[in-house]
Amino acid sequence: MYRLLAWLLLALLRDVSALWPRPQTLSTGSTPLRLSTSFSIKYAFNNVPGDLKDAVTRTKGFLANDQLELLTPDRGASYGSAIKKAKQLQSLTLSLTGKGPIQSISEEAILDLTERQESYNLTVPADGSGATLSAVSTLGLLRGLTTFGQLWFSLSDTIYTLEAPIRIEDDPAYPYRGFMLDTARNFPELSTAGAYSSSSVYTESDIKNIVSYAASRGIDVMVVGQVALHTRFLSTTWDLQEIDTPGHTAVIGNSHPDYVACQNLQPWTQFANEPPAGQLRFTDKTVINFVQSLFKSTASLFPSKLFSTGGDEINMNCYAQDNVTQQDLAKSGKTFEEALSTFTQQTHSVLENLGKTPVVWEGKELSCINKVLILLKMDLLRNGVGS
Ligand SMILES: *[C@@H]1O[C@H](CO)[C@@H](O)[C@H](O)[C@H]1NC(C)=O
Ligand SMILES: *[C@@H]1O[C@H](CO)[C@@H](O)[C@H](O)[C@H]1NC(C)=O
């Protein structure tokens, strides 16, 4: 019994059902096939974008260098003679079935979510005739290459599969997949000093490198500026522009403490969800102008159509105790919700004018905030940004 279970487990680990992301449809056979030593990846079209060529080069590099062995106790050795006798795959041919001019992966990765086409079909015949990968877009070809690279194992110097023929039709299950690279949250000094040290910031060229590195790998980088509350995050965001406009760092951190309510107040638990306390005085027209120009200059560094403006974890007590905010509210005759809505609309309008879709956290803390966020979420949903 245990032996049977172990065998089943090994059978499971061994096969291409371990592909990631898991293809929508996958059919496999049981014929061994190996990559020819002269295996090549070809294009059935001209004007191949540079980042697709790079993706092909990376795929060939993974195939040659990964040396992934079969997950069996003998690492595939018992298949040695079958692999030696196996037919050889000479080539994988990439073709594009989309209409219109060929775009680079980087261009396609930042299209509106509704326009991105990531589907691909991949076939690896068992008889040694050429494998084919077809897609509507270069982004789809990238996804297909990612899958193709995972089909193979190594035994000595031979790269092989035991499961030819393989046919995959794939398409994203969700409109988008995301992950968060949170490099600012753990810098507690940011609200006062801006960063751990003068080198603990993203320079403009760092940003450009990250964005282009990610785009050529089919990843759309959306910056998250937590301006409604997290002024420490704001400082980080500001540091993005330190090279362009060095004076501004001092403006926020030193010259304009008046932009921020309850800055560093203690005990911080009464004024913030996380230390240190400090929230933008969003009722102040000057602060709105400042955030508008911050968004504008930050947005210019990120080609993505999406731009997150935060809206997370607003602490009500901070504003209730902040005389400036209360005076602003009294003067304008607006409720807290109305003033926040004005701030949100005016700061978001800058992004909308740049053709970007603002993205916000789905806040749960306050019913009044929810109104704004739900409204925004509806906008996002209309634009195809599910949540
Ligand atoms: C994949 O194959 C199916 C039919 O099997 C076809 O409808 C679809 O258009 C193909 N997709 C691509 C990207 O070639
Ligand atoms: C805020 O206003 C209240 C009442 O008007 C006053 O007692 C308090 O000192 C003010 N706080 C600050 C920091 O000015």
φ/ψ of residue 362, rounded to 5:
-85, 95
Contact 386, 174 (CB under 8 A): yes
Minimum CA distance residue for ligand 1 atom 8 = 121
Q: From the CB of 123, is ligand 1 less than 6 Å away?
A: no
Q: Residue 344 above 80 pLDDT?
A: yes
Q: How far apart are CA 387 and CA 383, in angstroms?
A: 12
Q: Is 169 a catalytic residue?
A: no
Tell me how far the alpha carbon of residue 62 is from its chain's centroid: 22
Segment 242-299, tens digit of pLDDT: 222 222 233 344 456 788 888 878 888 888 777 777 788 889 999 899 889 888 888 8
Mutate to test the pocket of ligand 1, among 96, 116, 120, 134 (most ligand atoms within 8 A of CB): 134
The per-residue pLDDT for 43 is 98
Ligand 1: nearest atom to the Cα of 97: 14
pLDDT band at 309 (very low <50, low <70, confident <90, very high): confident
The per-residue pLDDT for 16 is 59
Q: How far apart are CA 105 and CA 84, in angstroms?
A: 37
Mutate to test the pocket of ligand 1, among 26, 120, 121, 143 (most ligand atoms within 8 A of CB): 121
φ/ψ of residue 201, rounded to 5:
-135, 160
Q: How far apart are CA 185 and CA 55, in angstroms?
A: 32
Look at domain 17-170 and name its CATH class.
Answer: alpha beta
Ligand 1: nearest atom to the Cα of 134: 14
> Looking at the domain that runs over 190-382, which CATH code has it been given?
3.20.20.80
Q: From the CB of 137, is ligand 1 less than 6 Å away?
A: no
* Closest listed ligand to the CA of 321: 2
User: Among residues 313, 337, 352, 362, which one is catalytic?
Assistant: 313
Measured between alpha carbons, how far apart are the two ends of the chain, in Å? Answer: 45
Ligand 1: nearest atom to the Cα of 169: 1
**In the chain, domain spans:** 17-170, 190-382
Percent of the chain with pLDDT over 90: 45
The per-residue pLDDT for 278 is 78
Closest alpha carbon to 130 in 40, 46, 19, 55: 40
Mean pLDDT rounded to a whole number for the chain = 79
Q: From the CB of 136, is ligand 1 less than 6 Å away?
A: yes
Token pair 């968004």 in the structure block, residue: 295
Segment 127-148, tens digit of pLDDT: 999 999 999 999 999 999 999 9
Ligand 1 centroid from CA 16, angstroms? 21
pTM to 2 decimals? 0.77
Segment 56-88, tens digit of pLDDT: 999 999 999 988 999 899 999 999 999 999 999
3-state secondary structure the chain: CHHHHHHHHHHHHHCHHHCCCCCCEEEEEEEEEEEEEEEEEEECCCCCCHHHHHHHHHHHHHHHHCCCCCCCCCCCHHHHHHHHHCEEEEEEEEEECCCCCCCCHHHHHCCCHHHCCCCEEEEECCCCCCEEEEECCHHHHHHHHHHHCCCCEEECCEEEEEEEEEEEEECCCCCCCCCCCCCCCCCCCHHHHCCCCCCCCCCHHHHHHHHHHHHCCCCCCCCECCCCCCHHHHHHHHHCCCCCCCHHHHHHHHHCHHHEECCCCCCHHHCCCCCCCCEECCCCHHHHHHHHHHHHHHHCCCCCCEEEEECCCCCHHHHHHCHHHHHHHHHHCCCHHHHHHHHHHHHHHHHHHCCCEEEECCCCCCHHHHHHHHHHHHHHHHCCCCC
Ligand 1 centroid from CA 309, angstroms? 38
Ligand 1 centroid from CA 337, angstroms? 50
